[in-house]
Amino acid sequence: MTSDFPYLSRKLVKETFHDSMLLEAIWNHKWGMDNPVGKIHKVLMHCPGREVVKLHEQTGQIESGPLLLNQIKGRLSNSRSPSLPDLELLQSQHKGLQAALEKEGVEIINLQGQTERWPDCMYTRDLGMVIPGGVILSRFALYIRYGETRLAAETFSQIGIPVLGMVQGNGFAEGGSFIMLDERTAVIGRSERVNPQGIEQVKQILAFQDIELICIDLPASIIHLDEAFLMVDQHKALVNTALLPFWFLDELHKRSIEMLHVDLRDPTLAINALAVSPGKVLCSSDAVYTMDVLSHNGVEVISVDISEIKKMGGGIHCCTLPLIRESLL
């Protein structure tokens, strides 16, 4: 009697770990991504609970405020809201964001574990760096977020996504500063939250798949790459030139990526949007000028109200960690 399962064989495995047929057969899904805009199938999120009331009044500084700036005298004051968000409205807006994703056919996977201990775990983007075949677990630079890596590990174990590595030792790296630019290239932003040791570890893991890692030095005013750069279509990016080095913009140009500039008349984090499929983007409803730029350049925009979410220092991109995107190959 023969089995219809093709892998009951004593032959040596020839395919790579991230081979799509092997992933689907053994791990049930074609986990991971090799691009930043393919249609999203699964995304990790966490609807905030009462853990957010543990936050001190400078809520926005946890997610997007470099600690170093507190040591610089005479700098501009933090423009983000000094007050705690309204929990009921925060939850309502988060559910609205989930509904917008579900309307696009995205399956929401909820973060598991003792989330009530960690007040900033709504921003699931930072939990890992998703690459072809699975995810690299982050290591957080701040104590107040440090335990979120355990929540991610527990969740990933339950859903069966392969964990391909974990930043450890003296390294720090967070998912908000990482992007798979294409199947052979990833980009990471060095900052207060992403140090050289963490970058080197990510680089080594990517090397197993012959993926090049481009490292950008971010300015002192931001902590994550997603505050400055976002792919919105296969060959279109939303950028803030004030926060990106010339050589990187030149590299995008050489790769025939059309650059659209975020409109600086919009509030902070207008750029922190999410491509749900090629040329279709979820944007914060207050980013009216930037949405107009996108629309006039062939990008479909879906507006979502996240005004209360942004009080905690992050946006749509920060709240979402796509675990499966369709390949564009």
Q: Name the β-bridge partners of 324.
A: 32, 42
- Domain annotation covers residue 6: no
Where residue 1 falls among pLDDT bands split at 50, 70, 90? very low
Domain count, the chain: 1
- Domain annotation covers residue 4: no
- Domain annotation covers residue 125: yes
Average pLDDT value for residue range 13-40: 96
Distance CA 26, CA 321 (A): 23
Where residue 80 falls among pLDDT bands split at 50, 70, 90? very low
- Domain annotation covers residue 12: no
Tens of pLDDT, residue by residue over 184-221, are: 999 999 999 999 999 999 999 999 999 999 999 999 99
For residue 265, pLDDT over 90 is answered with yes
**Helix or strand (DSSP H, E) at 163:** strand 163-166
**pLDDT at position 209:** 98
- Domain annotation covers residue 267: yes
Specify the residue for token string 């991230």. Answer: 18
pTM of the prediction? 0.93
**pLDDT at position 218:** 97
Where residue 54 falls among pLDDT bands split at 50, 70, 90? confident
Distance CA 261, CA 179 (A): 18
Distance CA 48, CA 88 (A): 10
Backbone φ and ψ of 243, nearest 5°: -115, 5
23-27, 77-81, 322-326: segment of lowest average pLDDT: 77-81
Q: Structural domain of residue 187, as residue ranges?
A: 23-69+77-325
Sign of CA dihedral 161, 162, 165, 166: positive
Q: Looking at residue 181, which CATH number applies to its domain? A: 3.75.10.10
Where residue 84 falls among pLDDT bands split at 50, 70, 90? confident
Helix and strand totals (H; E) in the chain:
8, 15
Distance CA 257, CA 266 (A): 23
- Domain annotation covers residue 151: yes
For residue 239, pLDDT over 90 is answered with yes
- Domain annotation covers residue 1: no
- Domain annotation covers residue 269: yes
Residue 76: DSSP 8-state = P
